[in-house]
Every structure is written in C-alpha cells, then in structure tokens.
Chain A
Amino acid sequence: MINRHCVEQAIRTGFGIEGTINRVSVFDRKNYFYADLPAGYQISQYSQPIVSGGRLAIDFAEGKTREIGITRLHMEQDAGKSLHDQHPAKTYVDLNRSGVALMEIVSEPDLRSPEEAGAYLRKLRSILRYLGTCDGNMEEGSMRCDANVSVRKAGEAYGTRCEIKNVNSVRYVMQAIEYEARRQVALIEDGGTVRQETRLFDPGRSETRPMRSKEHAHDYRYFPDPDLLPLVLDDKRIEEIRTAMPELPDAKKERFVRDYKLSPYDAGVLVAEKESAAFFETVVNGRKDPKLAANWVIVELFGALNREGKDIAQSPVSAKALAGLLDLIENNTVSGRIAKDVFALMVETGKDAAAIVEEKGLKQVTDTGAIEAAIDKVIADNAAKVAEYRSGKQALFGWFVGQVMKATQGKANPAMANEILKKKLAG
C-alpha cells in the first residue's frame, strides 16, 4: 500500500519545481532482470506521472540565471543496492532499501556543460532541502544522479546519448560529463559512432566505462501494474500542501536583494542553504546596515567554518552572538579591525563578543582627549616625518594613522583618529 507521506512529499516537490500536479496518475511496471531487483520489475510511473512539467533557474557566479526545463517527476520503488567492489568475483546485493519510495526528477535536455549540470544539481538539492523532501546527501545515496550525455555540432540535432550511472557527488557528475563528452567527440572525430549504452563512472580513474552490455536492456516493456489502482489525489489536500509551502531559495534571494539591498551574488550565497539564510536573518534582524551583516556572515563566518571544516549547524558562533558583535561595531564600541580579532576569539572560545571585549580591554577609544594625547606623542616623536608631510609628502598620512593605531593598540576610533590627525598635522 502506498505511503501517504511519500505522496505528499512528491506533491510538495512538484510545487517546488513549478510543475503541474496531476489529479490522477498511474503506476506501471518497468520490466528488467537485475540482481538488485528481486521482483523482476520495478513499480514506476511512465505515461501518467504524478507531476508533469516544471522548471528551475540555475545560478551563475555573476548573479545571472538560466531556466532549465523539467520534464516530469514520478514516484517509483527503489531497487536494492549493488556493491561491486567488495569481492573480486562477486557483486554484493543489499536489499534494505528495496521497495522504498523515491522521486525521480527528469530534466529537459537543456544543460549545456558540466558546470551547468553542477549548478542544476546544487539548485535542485537546495530546493529539496528547503522543502524537507530530501536531505540531498549524495554520498549516502539519498540523492542520486543519472547523467545523460550527448554531443553535437552547434545547431545540429542532439547526438546519441549515453547514460552515466553511479555518480555520487556533484563534483563527480561534472567530472564524468567532462570525460564522457571528450570521449564521444574523440570517437566521432576518429570516424566512429556513439552507441547508446549505460556507463559507470570510476572516480578513481576519473573515467566512464560501459556496464556489461545487457542485450535489449532498454526494452523495459512498461505496462500498467494490474495490482495497483490509479493514484487519485484529493484537491483539498493538494491545496493544503500548496498553502503550507515554505519560501524557496529564489523567492528568498529576491527578497534579500529587495529588502536588504544585497547584491544578487551575496543574496545567492546566503540562500543556497536554508540554514545559512535563517542564520543571516537572525543576524540582520532590526539592524541598520544589512550589508555589514551579510559581509560578516559570508566573509568572516563562512571563512571560519571553511577553515574548521564545519557546516553552519555546527557553527561555534551562534547567530545571536554574531549579532552581538555587530551591535558593538555599530555603536562604535569596537572598530571593524578589532572586531575581527574579537570574532577570532569568539570562534576559539565560544564566548560572546561583549565578554571578550571587556576581558581583553578592547573597547574602542572614543575619548577625544585620549586620542589627541596619542597623536600629540606621535607628532612629537617623529618631527622629521612631520616636516616631510608638511612639505607636501601627503602619502605619509597613512603611516601616521598606523602609528596612532599602534600607540592605542588599534583601539582608537579610526574616523576620529583620522580627523584629529589631519587637523594636527596641518599645524
């Protein structure tokens, strides 16, 4: 009996890829013999899938996007898992996932390069994670990709395609397509023709190899499963799912650009993962300078997470803690430069910003008298440089600022130090 939750997840995903939810869909049998398919057929959907059509926008670095068509989303039963590398002469078959429902999402032949294929997978994964319909983990096989590759001369019809199976990361998909396209081009240039076949990607050698050729393997003889009635969906339930849809990455990105005046690129980076977007929204909440918040999350936080090999859920600095640090920058308690030191300590110790600033005495000096005193001392100690500056060597100004910062351990408010220094140097 079909699992209601699976049906709902398929509907939810269908909305996520802007497809049409079909009120009636039909289960078919796809017939083939393989060691990991005990029944000799797979229950799938062929002529009447649960979702037809759809689209997805892939994102490029410069903030540009391109729309990729989606043909269909259908439900089917997973086969078992074959392990080919455990024994020299045997394939091991694990049937634990056999019969578990999966969604297969088929795209139109719109992807033109390994990069676009990678961008498509990342975007699809992002949407699935936002929807909570797949954790997107390719290594563990909860998201898998079969990549069809064909080559053609510009303007000509599509060439014969090969299907590459068994690719378990976005990077490998891109490598496999790159290799396969080159292989096909070389084959054709040598006067050969591409044979439609299924190939496996070998990450160890970065190449694709034909699976043992199975005669007539592509003749699946689909027919409606006589044991299963058509799946009829309830309009009310479809509507409930539609109205409960979360904000998806594209809409969120648009909102970040509109409401926070972020660049499309920055907004794209922040919304790529649902958790990052939520983190940013906590940090930016009620803040005057969203751009500052975005920079801190993207540059400092993501940089630190990268170095530590952690994802945002394991961040040593919480969104509230980062917001606390930004408060200190915005109310001039610390300068931007000192804030970076404070942040490094936050990552290291997990303490909050105010405590670190207090403990280490990092409060910015905004007391005019104290800054003036430091500047007076720098001027008095460097009479020669002062003379040079006054005789026209304006480039020395930066050096003076450096000296003042050094004298105050970097704690002088930079704007104030600049202003007073300029006045005093002018004589």
Chain B
Amino acid sequence: MSLDKATVARIATLARIKVAEADLDKMAGELQTILDWVEQLNALDTNGVEPMTSAVAVVLPQRADKVTDGNYAGKVLANAREPVNAGEGGFFSVPKVVE
C-alpha cells in the first residue's frame, strides 16, 4: 500500500489534526515507512496461530453490577465553557449540530 498526499490529508481531517499543505509530503513519507514495516509483518504466515492479545495469560475481568461511584455532575460540569443548569446536573452546550 502506498500513501499519497490526498490520503494523508483525508486521514488528518478524520483525526481532526491540522496539517499544513507543506508538511503533507513529509508526513506521507513517515507514515509510509510505518506501513512498509507492517507489510513486512503481514508477509509472515500466521495460519493456525491464535492472535496474541496479551503478554500474560489473562482474560477480560468482569465486575459486579453495583454502583460504586458517581453523583459528580457539578464537578463534571465545573470546567465546561457554557454549562446549562449546572447546579441541577444539567448539560454541556455546544453550537447546534443539526440544521
């Protein structure tokens, strides 16, 4: 797989990262080296090999269905730029996202 400038620009947009036009070529090159390395790994035959998800033999732990924390609405909203009804555990507010 090879990266062109347009693809890098699109990935940057998706990630909401501002990349100057002048930097796109350089970044394409850097990302390309990463992809090349992954492609080297891809060349390995891993048929019949279980994916390794951890270096130690553990499974996803599960917790009991109990409330152990919470009721911090005031604190959560403390740094919001434009909270609404913050005292009553209200809302964050953002520019309208539907037309």
Residues of chain A having any CB pair with chain B under 8 Å: 1-7, 31, 33-35, 82-84, 86-96, 200, 209-212, 215-216, 219, 221, 228-232
Contact = CB atoms under 8 A, between A and B. Distances in A.
B48 interface: no
B64 to A, nearest CB: 6
A90 B60 contact: no
Of all A-B residue pairs in the complex, the 9 with the closest CB atoms, nearest first, are: A5-B65, A92-B91, A4-B62, A229-B60, A93-B92, A35-B94, A1-B63, A232-B59, A90-B93
15 contacts: A1-B61, A2-B61, A2-B63, A7-B62, A90-B93, A92-B84, A92-B93, A93-B93, A95-B92, A212-B97, A212-B99, A221-B14, A228-B60, A231-B60, A232-B60
Contacts of A31: 14
Contacts of B75: none
B64 A4 contact: yes
Nearest to B82: A90
A33 B84 CA distance: 22
A94 B92 CA distance: 7
A87 B93 contact: yes
Interface of B: 10, 13-14, 16, 53-54, 58-65, 73, 76, 82, 84, 89-99
Contacts, number: 92
Contacts of A3: 62-65
Nearest to B58: A229
B56 to A, nearest CB: 10
Contacts of B99: 209-212
Nearest to B70: A96
Contact of A230 (B59, B73, B82, B95): B59
Nearest to A27: B60
A93 B64 CA distance: 29
B59 A84 contact: no
B93 A91 contact: yes
A4 B59 CA distance: 13
